[in-house]
Amino acid sequence: MYRQNRQLLELLLPVVDRLGYELLGIEQHARGRDSVLRLYIDKETGIGLDDCARVSEQVAGVLDVHDPVQGSYTLEVSSPGLDRPLFTLEQFRRFCGQRVKVNLHRKLEGRRKLIGEIKSAGTDNVVISADGNIYEVAADNIDKARLVPDSIN
């Protein structure tokens, strides 16, 4: 997973996996003195509120014991939703042919944002077709990526 907190992933992947869910990724956002720690989970039959509560309870216990997050934070467990975030190259491969919005850390051909179709994902990059051009985006240049549902442009 690119740009993910390795310590949190190593700690939480087995917990979420044992519960029968896939941990798609983790986001950390500062909000003033506090922060938000958001986990995205999924399973074949979809995610409901009870699933999020179940994972949240188990993850909160593990975080309390190991205390890997500095300062105070709010834990959120969420389904990926229609505008599913993408965290790994495998996730990009899974959604080849779908529309995606990608925010970049560094400009690529003068752009910091691409909205287009995922063409492929290699071992260290993603190929996106946007505005009639093909862009090869290095995985370490991706800040955020989300699928674009058909009804949203």
Mean pLDDT of 108-123: 96
Nearest CA to 120 among 100, 149, 141, 144? 100
| pLDDT score of 50 | 97
CB 26 within 8 A of CB 9: yes
* Structure-token match 């941990």, residue found: 23
The helix/strand/coil state of 71 is coil
Q: Is the pLDDT of residue 36 over 80?
A: yes
pTM score of the predicted model: 0.89
Residue 10 has pLDDT above 80, yes or no: yes
Domain boundaries, the chain: 6-78, 89-147
Does pLDDT of 152 surpass 60? no
pLDDT of residue 32: 74
Q: Same CATH fold, 89-147 and 6-78?
A: no
89-147, CATH topology level: SH3 type barrels. (2.30.30)
CA–CA separation, 99 vs 88, rounded Å?
16
Q: How confident is the model at residue 2 (pLDDT cuts 50, 70, 90)?
A: low
Q: What pLDDT was estimated at residue 150?
A: 81
CATH architecture, domain 6-78: 2-Layer Sandwich (3.30)
Nearest to 65 by CA among 15, 26, 23, 28: 15
Q: Output the six-digit token pair for 23.
A: 């941990």
Rounded Cα distance between 86 and 2, Å, is 10
